[in-house]
Amino acid sequence: MASERVKFTFPPDLVNTPVIYNMGKEFGVATNIRRANLSHDRGWVILEVVGTAEAIEKSLAWAKEQGVRIEPAAAETA
């Protein structure tokens, strides 16, 4: 199993959408929220994504297509 730690930044229209849940269900990846800051109109999450390298790559590409900004997260931010 591979893992990748990323920072998701959500635009206002996605804050109340279960993007992380849907990503895990659709691509069979496990997600672990390491840190988060959400309000009613914006938010970010440091997320650890675990699965096969292919599933992680596909799930992150899908999240980006949904409108999530994705950046690498340094290990010390968690």
For residue 67, what are the domain limits?
2-77
pLDDT bin (cut points 50, 70, 90) of residue 74 is confident
pLDDT value of position 75? 61
pTM: 0.89
CATH code, 71: 3.30.70.260
Mean of pLDDT values over 42-61: 97
pLDDT value of position 10? 96
- Distance (Å, rounded) from C-alpha 41 to C-alpha 10? 9
pLDDT in tens, 8-34: 999 999 999 999 999 999 999 999 999
Q: How many domains does the chain have?
A: 1
Question: How distant, in Å, are the alpha carbons of 44, 50, 51 from that of 15?
Answer: 9, 22, 24
